Amino acid sequence: MASSQNQHRFRLSYELVLCAKCGLKRVRGVTCADCAAQPAPWEVDQRAVARRGAVRAAATLLNVPPKALPLRPFRVLEMEELMNRLHSWLSDFFSAIGAVSSARLGAEDSLLRVTQELLAERAFVSSAARYRPWTPLVDGSRRCVEHLREMALSYLDALSASTPLEAQRHAERAQQQMDAAADVLGRHAQRIERLSELLDAGGFQDQLVVLLLRAMQDMGAGDLTKLGTRAETEVAAVVGSAPGHGCGVGLQFALQRAAVATYGDVRRFEQIVRSSAELVARSPELLSALASSPSFVTDIEAALLDIFDASSQAAQVLDSNVPRQIGRSLVDVAASLVEGPGQMVAIALLVGSGQKTRPYEKLRQDNATELLRSARKQPAMEPLLEGLNLDLRTAQAHRMVRYADDGLTMEIKSVSQALTWDELSDELFMACESAMGCLIGLMHALSRLGHSFGHRDGYRAFGISPEAMLSATLRLMGCSNVSLEETRGTWRVTLTVPVDTQLTVLAAGVAALVPQDISTLTVIADSSGNQHILSGPVALLRPFSDTTDPDNDQYGIAATRMQRLWTYDGKPCIEEALVRAWAAQQVVTALSGDAQSIARLRALRTLAFQVDDTELAEALTAAIRSTRLGGTADRETQELVAKLAAWGSTPVPYQPV
């Protein structure tokens, strides 16, 4: 919904008269601003009276609290229809405002009608049940309608103003409300689009790719390395302390929060991350012993995969009526969340807080329900475990769940408890939200103790194939038609790229995705019908996924080495002369610096050996010797150093590929 200062303008007319007391002009029917003389009875402005009467009636309606209506479930379709109606309502509202300001026939009735329409929408969204996965959409819809209500009141204040100055002040406020409403409506439309995209993704792997792309877009990250680094900063802000760098916490947090933002409560999720991180860090020795167990890391990966599986299965039935057969599968999913992630979280909370001291290998054999009950007895832990329905898990295990078209009933100790399918869905997603938050908090605490969960192909632990990860990352870079062929230690990637795309940048961007057992990467790119091939050893890409910048030169040596040893259409990406010119310029910079110049010259000499340039290596060795000896260096050394000066001053064209 676009908005500007000139959009939806309307004209208010005020008749001026001469004040009988001071002789100056003033607005008819209004107390004189100069001498405070009261208006005469004959000065009544009938148009203004009618306008203010209609405005008062509309404002009175808008200030009446919405009536409490029975809660009803919402779906994406209802939200999309609401957005369409609100856009139409805006046009009708400003038409009515214009009619009232011009005192057109029937204007008052039009204003009351559009006011009642907005009140109907307000009642509509007020009756929406806040069940996950629709919670973000329900909250967004309510904010949209409330912003429009406040905007309408501001415009009505402008219409009822007794002076032009007062009308202008209210109109400016109304424009601010209009801009705010446009922003809220735009963000809400994006939420609807995102949930629809997730629903349309279909399979589990496709949904994860959608979440990954969303996380990258939200954090402005072009690849997994940047995503992980930026997410680590976000985690530090949430918890109050930074996680261990490169330990995998950032990537997990980014994915999990993208999921929760789609169907849950982000504020609650972040609170769980913060609280669980603080709880499990109370007994660092016990926590380290827990993490040292042979089964611990694989159990965490399995728990994360279970959570993604659970949300994926639930997403498949989100936007439809839940038949009994699918309802049974949702009950199975809810029970599996208790037995898998729920048990892992309970053990972590109890051990990290010092409540349990037994080895992990023994604790993992305990009954999941009893472990969770034990954790829930702790006031600080109970809010972190909401959604994990222990009664439902017990009833399911004893075949005491009865299914109907609108929900289920479970029998527990002679007590009957009913759940609608929407309530079950809400619990299931809340359980995912709880378990996700606690696991991120656990990983954060462990990362600060030196434990890492980030390995190069860790995405496979989520059930994401290399091809899916490549496709997601490269799509974000503007590529399409991505395919991957893996044979004997080689990745062969075929794709379509935008015009003027630098393939070396693409290769560096996907470096973090390539598993350790892959030694060669070949990129076959089609751009406007022209095919180009970039190929080389993966080892030369590894430095680009190391955010510490190993050479401390903004990846200058790494980029030069990679471009010299990789081939583009069968030839090195850059010529030998360019490497020499760049290295020579680096020598000048290094020698004008501090005492670290020798170390920098040695790093450049290592580069020369790596690119098989003996002459450059000899010149750099001479530069090192000359730096140490000063003016006493021999003639041969001086001649070699002179070569560097010549190379550095000779222009060499550079065409990035």
For residue 522, the domain's CATH number is 3.30.70
pLDDT in tens, 494-546: 999 998 889 998 898 888 788 888 999 999 999 888 999 999 999 998 888 77
pLDDT in tens, 360-380: 999 999 999 999 999 999 999
Order of all β-strands in the sheet with 407-412: 401-403, 407-412, 415-420
**Residue finishing a domain among 441, 462, 483:** 462
Average pLDDT estimate for 567-587? 93
For 157, half-sphere exposure in the C-beta direction (CA atoms, 13 angstrom radius) is: 18
168 has a pLDDT exceeding 70: yes
**Does residue 357 sit in the same domain as residue 368?**
yes
403 has a pLDDT exceeding 80: yes
**Does residue 591 sit in the same domain as residue 499?**
no
According to DSSP, the residues that pair with 527 across neighbouring strands are: 530
All residues at 6 or more sequence positions from 8 whose CB lies less than 8 Å from its CB, including other chains: 94, 97, 178
Model pLDDT, residue 276: 95
According to DSSP, the residues that pair with 490 across neighbouring strands are: 487, 520
pLDDT in tens, 273-310: 999 999 999 888 988 898 888 899 889 888 988 888 88
How far apart CA 613 and CA 609 sit, in angstroms, is 6
Structural domain includes residue 32:
no
Average pLDDT estimate for 386-394? 92
**CATH code assigned at 120:** 1.20.1420
All residues at 6 or more sequence positions from 207 whose CB lies less than 8 Å from its CB, including other chains: 198, 201, 312, 315
Q: Residue 5: which pLDDT band, with cuts at 50, 70 and 90?
A: very low
Model pLDDT, residue 2: 39
pLDDT in tens, 235-283: 999 999 999 887 778 888 998 898 888 888 999 999 999 999 999 998 8
Model pLDDT, residue 416: 84
> Mean pLDDT, the chain, as a whole number?
84
Model pLDDT, residue 9: 54
Q: What percent of the chain stands above pLDDT 90?
A: 30
**Does residue 77 sit in the same domain as residue 191?**
yes
| Highest averaged pLDDT of the listed ranges 159-163, 193-197, 455-459 | 193-197
pLDDT in tens, 53-90: 788 888 888 988 887 777 777 777 787 888 889 889 98
Average pLDDT estimate for 633-655? 84
* Pairing state between β 401-403 and 407-412: antiparallel
Structural domain includes residue 340:
yes
pLDDT in tens, 118-140: 999 999 988 888 888 888 888 88
Model pLDDT, residue 509: 81
Model pLDDT, residue 175: 80
| Torsion angle, alpha carbons of 477, 483, 485, 486, to 10 | 40
How far apart CA 337 and CA 339 sit, in angstroms, is 6
Average pLDDT estimate for 443-467? 74
Nearest to 223 by CA among 445, 438, 442, 544: 544
Structural domain count, the chain: 4
CB atoms within 10 A of CB 560: 22
How far apart CA 297 and CA 461 sit, in angstroms, is 11
The residue written with tokens 């091809």 in the block is 467
Structural domain includes residue 10:
no
Residue 532 CB-density burial (10 A; 0-12 exposed, 13-18 middle, 19+ buried)? middle
Model pLDDT, residue 10: 53
How far apart CA 200 and CA 207 sit, in angstroms, is 9
- Cα radius of gyration (the chain): 34
Model pLDDT, residue 377: 93
pLDDT in tens, 329-345: 888 889 999 999 999 99
Q: How far apart are the first and last CA of the chain?
A: 41
**Residue finishing a domain among 416, 442, 462:** 462
Q: Residue 323: which pLDDT band, with cuts at 50, 70 and 90?
A: confident
| Helix, strand, coil fractions of the chain, as percent rounded to 5 | 60, 10, 30
**Does residue 160 sit in the same domain as residue 251?**
no
Model pLDDT, residue 549: 64
Q: Which long-range contacts (CB under 8 A, 24 or more apart) does 598-602 make?
A: 598/624, 598/627, 598/628, 600/553, 601/627
Nearest to 653 by CA among 574, 597, 568: 574
**Does residue 177 sit in the same domain as residue 295?**
no
Give phi and psi for 536, each to the nearest 5: 175, 180
All residues at 6 or more sequence positions from 1 whose CB lies less than 8 Å from its CB, including other chains: 87, 90, 181, 182, 185, 186
Amino acid identity, residue 615?
E
Model pLDDT, residue 1: 38
Contact of 540 with 573, CB cutoff 8 Å: no
- Range with lowest mean pLDDT among 161-165, 291-295, 308-312, 633-637: 161-165
CB atoms within 10 A of CB 606: 15
pLDDT in tens, 8-21: 555 555 667 787 77
C-alpha distances out from residue 247 to 59, 143, 243, 435, 455, Å:
57, 38, 8, 19, 8
**Does residue 63 sit in the same domain as residue 189?**
yes
pLDDT in tens, 211-228: 888 888 888 887 777 888
Q: pTM higher than 0.85, yes or no?
A: no
The residue written with tokens 């039009």 in the block is 110
How far apart CA 245 and CA 247 sit, in angstroms, is 6
Helix axes 390-397, 324-337, angle to 10 degrees: 110
**Does residue 43 sit in the same domain as residue 175?**
yes
Model pLDDT, residue 199: 72
Structural domain includes residue 166:
yes
**Does residue 345 sit in the same domain as residue 431?**
yes
**Does residue 216 sit in the same domain as residue 309?**
yes
Check residues 429 and 305 and name the one with the higher pLDDT: 429
Contact of 262 with 136, CB cutoff 8 Å: yes
How far apart CA 580 and CA 122 sit, in angstroms, is 70
Check residues 335 and 41 and name the one with the higher pLDDT: 335
Model pLDDT, residue 573: 95
All residues at 6 or more sequence positions from 213 whose CB lies less than 8 Å from its CB, including other chains: 472, 475, 476
Asked whether the bond before 383 is cis by omega within 30 degrees of 0, the reply is no
**Does residue 41 sit in the same domain as residue 78?**
yes
**Does residue 372 sit in the same domain as residue 404?**
yes
Apex CA 309: angle with CA 304 and CA 315, to 5°? Answer: 130
| 383: containing domain | 204-462
Q: Residue 459: which pLDDT band, with cuts at 50, 70 and 90?
A: low
Give phi and psi for 114, each to the nearest 5: -70, -30
Structural domain includes residue 23:
no
**Does residue 324 sit in the same domain as residue 353?**
yes
**Residue finishing a domain among 462, 481, 507:** 462
DSSP codes joined into one string, 415-427: EEEEEEHHHHHHH
